[in-house]
Amino acid sequence: MGSARVPEFRITMETPTHVLRPRSLNGATPPRWIEGRALADYGKYLTDESRHTGHAAALVFPTCIEEVAGAVLEARRRGLPVTVSNARTGIAGGAVPAGGLLLSLERMNRIRGLRHGPDVGFLVRCEAGVLLSELQDSVATGSFADSAGWSDESRACLERLRRGRYLYPPDPTERGAAMGGTIACNASGAHTFLYGPTRPYVQSLLVVLADGRVLDIGRGQARAREDGEFALALPGGGMRRGRIPSYRWPRTKNSGGYYAEPRMDLLDLFIGSEGTLGIIVGAEVRLVPAPEANCAVVTFWPDEAAAVAFTRRLRTERQDLGVEAIEYFGPNALDLLRQRRETMGAISGVPERLPGPGACAIYLDLGTDTGRLAAVLGSLCELVAAVGGDPEHCWSAMARDERERLRVFRHALPETVNGVIAEVRRRHPGVTKLGTDMAVPDEGLEGVLALYRSALDRAGLHYVVFGHIGDNHLHVNILPRDPAEYAAGRRLYEGFARDVVAMGGSPAAEHGIGKLKTSFLTILFGPEGLAEMRAVKAVFDPESRLGVGTLFPEEAQ
Ligand SMILES: Cc1cc2nc3c(=O)[nH]c(=O)nc-3n(C[C@H](O)[C@H](O)[C@H](O)COP(=O)(O)OP(=O)(O)OC[C@H]3O[C@@H](n4cnc5c(N)ncnc54)[C@H](O)[C@@H]3O)c2cc1C
């Protein structure tokens, strides 16, 4: 594959320091403070896609960095904690306030400019509230709503960008998420298989700290020392010293806890910190060359073992075939889709002829050069046949509207699951979907599938397994039919988290910890790891005022 290959990330700095030096901001002013009865009109800001609801003493919508700093200082003066909220698409409750000031970044939504990146791509500068959909669509079309106000350098870059095809790869399914939120959660998705999560695309961040100072931090500028030590310069001179946690980061996708590795770039501490270390107000992110041609393919397999064997072969061909995503539909998932087709007919988004019970499907996104597409599809057919599949029974889609049809098919599953749960909730309002978000290292894939199947079948629960098999990151959705099954499902869910961690994986691979999955952090890193995370937080937020209740449960008020 040519153009979809992710370029190496290279920035060379002379001697990165281990000391972060935030600056004080002139002109910090609090924005309009919405409180008391006026808050009643803003109920939607107290909740997110987790459907949990919180409470706040006040709400602000800053429109510039001075107002963010002003709000933070005013909250400090009033003794209020601060919860950061962006597009509120999070499903772990991180943006749901547990009292204090709720600071929404949705009005900081401008794309500020463009420059050349350290490699063949570009860097785009945006405010935290810019929606992922807006950024990605602007890059794809070369049309930026705010470009009239850009500098000459940015506009010249835009002309060059328009001559090629570029892409901002992070894809957390929900494109209504905001850039600040995706960075705060290190969002990832199906295409993470080829492109990685959000982290490697973040080049620099502008962060307002809990004391109202501003940290402008670029990749390669500051690193922890060999022994993990780093420091934050204090306003009156002196330093507050900290140490990178000593826990071992899972060898899988992981969105739980502060990132930690030897001599790590200190920029990476903020990516995935879920609003507990600072408020990300702006970012510069990397664009990479986009593939010239895209194709979606669905392949069918007689059973789970064959689907896994195909996945393993695809992994070795990832770069050559330009495999962007490998997504799995287990036997129960196809059963549910078959039922959907029977009930809803053609409008179900599910084609008529799905293979019979026991079969599985693997969905692929491919991205390559136009001139190579036919050869890539030929190699894919050979691969399907080599693993024992039937290339005649694959669906493929190249034109945009055909690919859209396969995308609808792919998304029909979560939609059907939500419909099933909504039906059960009419009779049992306390029952919710139990959706896991766990990843294991490569060698654990067969083991974890067997674990899920045996435990759930033994318990007699209704469930589907689907998702990012390329990254060994499968979602189990347990569909309880009554409160007793709900309780049994919850117990299994917690047990899966322990098993997955024992396999070297993550119980929170992409949706974050937020306020709802804090017990998983203890399972993942143990009480010692949690204590090390608290020590990191104390460097940036010694009064523990940011993101109260997120990551660290007992702080909730
Ligand atoms: C249908 C659906 C599918 C989804 N699929 C995926 C998926 O595949 N992969 C995935 O990763 N996620 C997925 N998500 C979850 C969600 O979209 C992501 O977590 C997203 O990154 C959240 O962005 P947001 O702007 O909505 O953040 P919010 O929900 O507003 O906030 C999320 C967290 O980040 C913090 N935060 C937000 N903005 C900032 C900031 N500027 N500075 C500091 N902290 C901040 C908040 O305090 C909170 O803790 C899905 C959600 C939905 C509804």
Which atom of ligand 1 is found nearest the CA of 414? 1
Tens-digit pLDDT profile for residues 421-450? 999 999 999 998 899 999 999 999 999 999
Cβ-contact 556, 276 below 8 angstroms: no
Query: What's the half-sphere exposure (Cβ side, CA atoms, 13 Å) at 187?
Result: 22
Residue 1: pLDDT band with limits 50, 70, 90 = very low
Which protein residue's CA is at the shortest distance from atom 10 of ligand 1?
A: 172
pLDDT tens digits for range 246-264 = 999 999 999 999 999 999 9
Q: Which of 51-65, 273-287, 397-411, 534-548 has the lowest mean pLDDT?
A: 397-411
pLDDT score of 324 more than 60: yes
Residue 75 Cα to ligand 1 middle (Å): 24
Question: In angstroms, what is the span from residue 94 Cα to ligand 1's centroid?
Answer: 8
What is the atom index within ligand 1 of the atom nearest the CA of 189? Answer: 8
Cα 126 to middle of ligand 1, angstroms: 17
Cα–Cα dist 320/310, whole Å: 15
- Going from the Cα of 274 to the center of ligand 1, the distance in angstroms, rounded, reads 9
List the one residue out of 510, 497, 504 whose CA is nearest residue 455: 497
User: Counting every residue, how long is the chain?
Assistant: 557
CA neighbor of 204 nearest in space, from 107, 119, 280? 280
Pick from 82, 86, 477 the residue to mutate for probing ligand 1's pocket: most ligand atoms within 8 Å of its CB: 86
Above 70 in pLDDT, residue 457? yes
Q: DSSP letter string over 211-226? A: TS-EEEEETTSBB--T
Determine the 3-state secondary structure of 54 from DSSP. Answer: coil
Q: How far is the CA of 512 from the centre of ligand 1 (A)?
A: 8
Buried b (16+ CB within 10 A) or exposed e, 115-127: eebbeebbbbbbb
Residues with CB under 6 Å of ligand 1 are 48-49, 83-91, 94-95, 105, 128, 172-174, 177-178, 180-182, 184-185, 187-189, 274-275, 279-280, 510-512, 514, 547, 550
Element holding 360 (H helix, E strand): strand 360-368
Give per-residue pLDDT as tens, 364-375.
999 999 999 999
Question: Which of 148, 255, 317, 230 shows the shortest CA–CA distance to 505?
Answer: 255
Q: Is 400 exposed, middle or buried (0-12, 13-18, 19+ CB in 10 A)?
A: exposed
- Closest Cα partner for 191 from 30, 432, 390, 365? 365
Question: Among 54-63, 97-106, 417-426, which is the least confidently predicted range?
Answer: 417-426
The secondary structure of residue 55, as a DSSP letter, is B
Q: What average pLDDT does the segment 340-366 reach?
A: 91
Ligand 1 atom 1, closest CA: 174
Q: Provide the 8-state DSSP code for 326.
A: E
Q: Do domains 292-415 and 428-512 have the same CATH topology?
A: yes
With a cut of 90, say whether residue 8 has pLDDT above it.
Answer: no
Q: What is the pLDDT, as a whole number, of residue 554?
A: 64
What ranges make up the beta strands (E) of 171-278?
202-208, 214-218, 229-233, 239-243
CA of 347 to the centre of ligand 1 (A): 30
Q: pLDDT at residue 236 above 90?
A: no
pLDDT at 118: 77
CA 23 to ligand 1 centroid distance, Å? 28
Longest dimension (CA), the chain: 72
Task: State which CATH number among 3.40.50.720, 1.20.210.10, 1.10.10.10, 3.30.70.2190 fits the domain covering 292-415.
Answer: 3.30.70.2190
| Main-chain dihedrals φ then ψ at residue 465, nearest 5 degrees | -120, 130
User: What is the predicted pLDDT for the residue at 352?
Assistant: 84
Q: Is the pLDDT of residue 10 over 70?
A: no
- The mean per-residue pLDDT over the stretch 183-187 comes to 97
Domain 109-289 class? Answer: alpha beta
Among 50, 68, 102, 174, the mutation site with the greatest number of ligand 1 atoms within 8 A of its Cβ is: 174
Other beta carbons within 10 Å of 249: 17
Q: What is the pLDDT of residue 556?
A: 45
- Pairing relationship of beta strands 293-301 and 214-218 according to DSSP bridges: unpaired
What's the confidence (pLDDT) of residue 14? 54
CA 354 – ligand 1 centroid, Å: 34
State the pLDDT confidence band at 41, using cuts at 50, 70 and 90: very high
Mean pLDDT of 314-323: 93
Atom of ligand 1 minimally distant from the CA of 178: 25
Instruction: Using DSSP bridges, classify how beta strands 101-104 and 58-60 pair: parallel, antiparallel or unpaired.
Output: parallel
Reported as a pLDDT band with limits 50, 70 and 90, residue 117 is confident
12-26, 111-125, 406-420: the lowest-pLDDT one: 12-26
Amino acid (one-letter) located at 283: A
The string of DSSP letters for 486-541 reads HHHHHHHHHHHHHHHHHTT-BS-SSS--TTT-HHHHHHHHHHHHHHHHHHHHHHH-
* Ligand 1 centroid from CA 401, angstroms: 28
78 C-alpha vs ligand 1 centroid, how far in Å? 28
Enter the pTM of the model.
Answer: 0.94
Q: What is the CATH number of domain 428-512?
A: 3.30.70.2740
Atom of ligand 1 nearest to the CA of 190: 8
Cα dist. 95→35, 286, 443, 507 in Å? 18, 26, 35, 20
- In the beta sheet, which residues pair with residue 213? none
For 500-525, what is each residue's pLDDT tens digit? 999 999 999 999 999 999 999 999 99
Q: Which residue has the least CA distance to atom 9 on ligand 1?
A: 172
Instruction: Give the residue extent of every domain in the chain.
Output: 109-289, 292-415, 428-512
Residue 121 has pLDDT above 90, yes or no: no
Give the contacts of 304 (CB within 8 A, at least 6 positions apart): 330, 331, 360, 449, 453
Ligand 1 center from residue 549 Cα (angstroms): 16
Pocket perturbation via mutation, ligand 1, pick of 61, 131, 185, 274 by most ligand atoms within 8 A of CB: 185
pLDDT of residue 351: 85
Q: Is 352 helix (H, G, I), strand (E, B) or coil?
A: coil
Least confident of 101-115, 308-322, 542-556: 542-556
Cα-Cα-Cα-Cα torsion 355, 361, 367, 373, nearest 10 degrees, comes to -40
**Region for 93 from its dihedrals, namely left if φ exceeds 0, alpha if ψ lies in -120 to 50, beta otherwise:** left
Give CA–CA dist 185/120, Å, rounded: 27
pLDDT band at 6 (very low <50, low <70, confident <90, very high): very low
Mutate to test the pocket of ligand 1, among 59, 68, 173, 206 (most ligand atoms within 8 A of CB): 173
CA dist list (Å): 405 to 127, 166, 298, 346: 33, 24, 12, 12
Give the atom of ligand 1 at the shortest distance from the alpha carbon of 207: 42
Mean pLDDT, rounded, of the chain: 94
The pLDDT confidence band at residue 306, using thresholds 50, 70 and 90, is very high
